Amino acid sequence: MAQTTVVVPEVGMTAATPTACPCPGSLFPYPPPRAGMAVSRKCLRAAQAELGAGMFLDYDGTLSPIVDDPDAAFMSETMRMAVRSVAKHFPTAIVSGRCRDKVFEFVKLAELYYAGSHGMDIKGPAKSSKSKAKGVLFQPASEFLPMIEEVHQRLIEETKHVAGAKVENNKFCVSVHFRCVDEKSWGALAETVKGVMREYPKLRMSQGRMVFEVRPTIKWDKGKALEFLLESLGFADCPNVLPVYIGDDRTDEDAFKVLRRRGQGVGILVSKHPKDTSASFSLQEPAEVMEFLLRLVEWKQLSRARLRLRRQADA
C-alpha cells in the first residue's frame, strides 16, 4: 500500500526535542553546545585505544552541501581528501539514496564501499583492499527494476506540467524533487505522485529534504544496509568495533536506530536545527563533518606514533 506523506518544508519539520546522549561516559548530550569537535571525543578515544572503527557516510547534506540542482551536488576536493584519509584507517562506506553509479561519480574513491538506492545496491571496494568484504555485492530489490523504470517514466510524464519539478532515477527508487517548485504547487504535486503510486501497490512513497522518494515496499533501508555491511566486514559481534554513521536526512534515522538498538557505535545527525532523532550527536553542516573526519585521522595517526614509541621504549 502506498504510504501517504504530508508536505512540510525541511526547516518547518524540526521538533525541538533534544535526546539525551545514550553513550556511557560521553561528554556531551544531543545537541552538543558546539557540535563540531565535541562529538569526536568518543570516536577519538576509540582511535587512540587502537580499537577498530567503521565509517558510514550519507552523501547529500553530509559530504556535499544541499543545492537546488541535484546534478550539481558536488563535494569539495578537500572533503574528498578527508574521506580518502579516513578510509586509509577505517573501512568506509557511502550510504545514499542516490543511484550507486551516480554517487560514485561524485565521490570518485574506488577504495570505499557504496550502498546506493537507500542501501538497496551494495558494492565493495573496486581497488585492492585488505578488507574482508571486498567482493561484496548485494541487491535485494533487483526484481523491482522494470517496475521502477516504468514508474520513473510515468512520473516524468505526469509531473511535466509542474514548473521546477524534477524526477530522478535512482535505479531501485525514484526521487521527485520539489525544491524548485512554487510552494503553492507542493500539495498538487504530492497528489499527482500519490495518484501514480495508487497503481503500484508494491511501491511506497516517503519524503526527504524537499523530495518525494518512491521505492519498493520490501523491508530494506539504510539501517538494514548498515547491518549488512557490519556483518560483511566481520564487525557484527565485536564490542571493540565502533561504527560511526553520519547523516542528515529522515532515511538516515533507520541507521541511527540500528546503532542505538545494538548499543554499538555512534550516530551523528548533520543539522543546524534541533530535530527528533535517534542519533546521539550532531554536527551542523558538511564543513563540520570534514573537520571531524580530519580530527579522527589526526588522532589515529597520533595514537599509532605513540604506540610505536612505547614499543621502542619497551624493546
Ligand X SMILES: O=P(O)(O)OC[C@H]1O[C@H](O[C@H]2O[C@H](CO)[C@@H](O)[C@H](O)[C@H]2O)[C@H](O)[C@@H](O)[C@@H]1O
Give the interface with ligand X as residue ranges (CB under 6 A): 58-61, 66-68, 70, 73, 96-98, 168, 170, 175, 177, 179, 208-211, 213, 249, 251
Distance of closest approach, residue 257 Cβ to ligand X, in angstroms: 16
CB closer to ligand X, 222 vs 295: 222
Residue nearest to ligand X (CB): 97
> Which residue number, 31 or 61, has a Cβ lying nearer to ligand X?
61
Residue 98 Cβ, how far from ligand X at the closest point, in Å? Answer: 5
Counting Cα atoms < 13 Å in the Cβ hemisphere of 279 gives 27
Shorter beta-carbon distance to ligand X: residue 124 or 286 = 286
User: Residue 149 carries which side chain, given as an amino acid letter?
Assistant: E
> From the CB of 5, what's the least distance to ligand X, in Å?
14
Is 249 an active-site residue? no
First CA to last CA distance, the chain: 67
**293 Cβ contact list (under 8 Å, min separation 6):** 55, 82, 83, 85, 86
> Residues 114-152, buried b or exposed e (16+ Cβ, 10 A)?
bbbbbbbbbbbbeeebebebeebebbbbeebeeebeebb
Q: How far is the CB of 128 from ligand X (least distance, A)?
A: 26
Q: How far is CA 226 from CA 97, 176, 264, 267, in A?
A: 13, 25, 12, 12
Query: Looking at 58, 60, 121, 254, which residue is catalytic?
Result: 58
Q: Which cell numbers in the block locate residue 78?
A: 578537500
Structural contact between residues 284 and 36, judged by C-beta atoms closer than 8 angstroms = yes
Q: Judged by CB, which is closer to ligand X: 272, or 304? A: 272
Residues with a catalytic annotation lie at 58
